[in-house]
């Protein structure tokens, strides 16, 4: 069997995306690029004049959308071409030019939001009445801008804050350099008895090893390095939290968490409800830990035993075309409109399927309004690859339905809802597979796969969210963040979340020091809320049928035209209450019950 990856030009055209749907040839991209470059200055003529008249304001908003969409097409095409083969120097240059143009444009239009906010509200209201039909689509846009008015400073102060934003991002940059470039991990003995360099990428593979001594050695080796850098890492994270608190206070927010949630108008109660509801259901996680200890047959369960599969991967080869068929069958419950769109995506050049030399790793869905979504895969005929296909097509169809119904202004999705459609697809695929399979080992494998998603997403990300809340409150109360205090907080959280039947190894205390998401404050809770919403929606779809499906498809079509919390309420999921999280955790309980019977 030939294991040599093909060059991009040798890859089978039947499994490549039709990137030409953007630009038929590179020369057309070049022509559009030069044309846009010449048009950018058209935006500068509006600066300082948005309050002059309703027509001037409208013209500016229309022109901004028009130029921005063209830039979107240029940027997306260039980067997706580069992702086909990252060694291609021509597309490296194209992507770099698109990036430069994007930065220039962002600077050129930076006046728009502050100027609109500075227009007196009675005058803005008069403008909107004057051209009521034309301004109608901007209602949510204006509401979103004006809602932040109390937290928008004077032009001089805003300029000063913009100049300090690079300083505010310094802790994250320092952490990235230390964590990705400077830190080196020791050699460890692999399962084959050979010495292998430990890397962050290999760490999870080692933790999944059936050889317990390999797991333990990798765990202790990794954390010994973070412990060796504990003072630097603590100072870096402390500086990041202080930066969050500084910007929140400067913008007149009561707390850093309020500022972070304010961008998408998420009530603070959503964050607290998530933590409280997970706390109430921690006995379920403790029960899973007990099952894991029993299945592994160990006297003591350690933190390095949390990732080893309880059931070896079902030895099933699922070719891509079979994966497409299975995903389509699983998503049939979403009705004819969804399946029609899914079939268009699966069979009309939306997807780049197989790996080739230089192709970007992983998977994503991306694209630009006015064309159609695209999906990058590196499919390898496993169950995991089939779930990835379902996941990414969830993203793609979220965009597809939004772009069919919304103007470009609302064509995106906030992070709070971005993972809902993709995870809902995965949940529906899982339900389909569990319903279809009678093989005991396969059922056990699938249920363990599902249980691990719950542990890694709902429980773990909530624990991370709680750590962030505690550390920010400490700084806001004038308390110092030292490595000792953060180790203590993190150890207490591990005890609370994992319970009495696991050894909380000392090394795990420093795990906070290796989590990159902590440098993007109050971000991770959205993984847990999004997962809960997706599970709740999948249950509604399966239990209630057409009314739930119609509400879900409506949600998919609304894009960014409402606040995320309201979008989900429209679909029947209210994350300001505990109900969706409770529903998700009740499924976790059902899975635990069946796993024990198997």
Q: Which residues are catalytic?
A: 392
- Using alpha carbons only, give the angle 595, 597, 598 rounded to the nearest 5 degrees: 65
Sign of the alpha-carbon dihedral angle for 276, 282, 285, 289: positive
d(CA 491, CA 511): 9
* C-alpha closest to that of 343 among 285, 268, 393: 393
For residue 9, give the H/E element and its range: none
Angle at 373 between CA 371 and CA 378, to 5 degrees: 140
Residue 387, both tokens: 């779930």
CA distance 407 to 416: 20
Nearest C-alpha neighbor of 75 from the set 401, 403, 371: 371
Q: Which two tokens stand for residue 487?
A: 């180790």
CB-based burial, 516-537: b 16+ in 10 Å, e otherwise: eebbebbbbbbbbbbbbbbbbb
**Phi-psi group of 312: left, alpha or beta (phi > 0 → left; psi -120 to 50 → alpha; rest → beta):** beta
Q: How far apart, in whole angstroms, are the C-alpha atoms of residue 178 and residue 31?
A: 42
Long-range contacts of 284-289 (CB under 8 A, 24+ apart): 284/585, 284/588, 284/589, 284/592, 285/455, 285/459, 285/497, 285/498, 285/499, 286/498, 286/499, 286/500, 286/501, 287/592, 288/451, 288/455, 288/588, 288/592, 289/498, 289/499, 289/501, 289/502
Angle at CA 498, nearest 5°, toward 497 and 501?
Answer: 150
Cα–Cα dist 341/335, whole Å: 10
């Amino acid at each position: 069997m030939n294991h040599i990856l093909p060059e991009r030009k040798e890859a089978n055209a039947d499994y490549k995306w039709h990137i030409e749907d953007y630009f038929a040839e590179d020369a057309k991209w070049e022509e559009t690029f030069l044309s846009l470059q010449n048009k950018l200055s058209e935006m500068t003529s509006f600066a300082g004049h948005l309050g002059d008249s309703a027509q001037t304001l409208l013209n500016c908003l229309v022109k901004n959308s028009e130029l921005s969409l063209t830039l979107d097409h240029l940027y997306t095409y260039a980067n997706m071409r580069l992702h086909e083969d990252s060694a291609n120097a021509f597309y490296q240059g194209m992507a770099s030019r698109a990036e430069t143009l994007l930065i220039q444009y962002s600077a050129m239009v930076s006046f728009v939001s502050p100027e609109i906010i500075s227009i007196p509200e009675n005058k803005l209201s008069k403008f909107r009445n004057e051209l009521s039909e034309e301004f109608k689509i901007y209602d949510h846009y204006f509401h979103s801008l004006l809602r932040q008015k109390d937290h928008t400073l004077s032009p001089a102060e805003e300029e000063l804050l913009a100049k300090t934003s690079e300083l505010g991002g310094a802790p994250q940059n320092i952490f990235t350099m230390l964590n990705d470039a400077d830190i080196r991990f020791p050699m460890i003995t692999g399962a084959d008895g050979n010495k292998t360099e430990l890397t962050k990428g290999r760490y999870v593979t080692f933790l999944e090893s059936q050889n317990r001594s390999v797991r333990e050695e990798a765990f202790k080796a990794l954390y010994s390095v973070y412990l060796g850098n504990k003072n630097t890492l603590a100072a870096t994270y402390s500086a990041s939290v202080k930066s969050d608190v500084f910007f929140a206070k400067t913008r007149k927010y009561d707390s850093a968490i309020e500022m972070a949630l304010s961008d998408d108008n998420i009530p603070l109660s959503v964050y607290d409800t998530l933590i409280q509801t997970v706390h109430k259901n921690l006995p379920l996680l403790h029960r899973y830990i007990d099952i894991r200890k029993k299945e592994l047959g160990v006297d003591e369960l350690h933190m390095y035993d949390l990732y080893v599969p309880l059931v070896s991967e079902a030895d099933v080869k699922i070719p891509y075309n079979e994966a497409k068929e299975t995903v389509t069958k699983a998503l049939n419950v979403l009705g004819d409109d969804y399946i029609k769109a899914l079939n268009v995506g699966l069979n009309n050049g939306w997807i780049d399927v197989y790996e080739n030399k230089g192709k970007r790793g992983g998977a994503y869905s991306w694209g630009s309004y006015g064309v159609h979504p695209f999906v990058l895969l590196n499919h390898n005929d496993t169950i995991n690859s089939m779930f990835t296909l379902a996941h990414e097509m969830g993203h793609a169809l979220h965009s597809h339905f939004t772009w069919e119904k919304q103007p470009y202004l609302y064509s995106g999705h906030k992070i709070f809802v971005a993972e809902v459609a993709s995870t809902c697809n995965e949940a529906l695929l899982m339900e389909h597979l569990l319903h279809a399979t009678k093989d005991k080992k396969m059922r056990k494998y699938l249920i363990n796969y599902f249980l691990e998603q719950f542990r890694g997403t709902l429980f773990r990300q909530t624990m991370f969210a709680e750590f962030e809340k505690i550390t920010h409150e400490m700084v806001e109360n004038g308390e110092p963040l030292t490595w000792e205090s953060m180790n203590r907080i993190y150890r207490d959280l591990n005890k609370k979340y994992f319970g009495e039947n696991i050894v909380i190894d000392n090394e795990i205390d420093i795990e906070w020091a290796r989590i990159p998401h902590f440098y993007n404050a109050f971000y991770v809770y959205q993984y847990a809320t999004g997962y809960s919403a997706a599970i709740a929606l999948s249950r509604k779809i399966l239990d209630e049928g057409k009314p739930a499906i119609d509400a879900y498809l409506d949600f998919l079509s609304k894009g960014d035209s409402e606040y995320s919390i309201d979008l989900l309420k429209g679909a029947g999921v209210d994350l300001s209450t505990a109900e969706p999280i409770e529903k998700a955790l009740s499924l976790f309980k059902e899975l635990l019950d069946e796993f024990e019977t198997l």
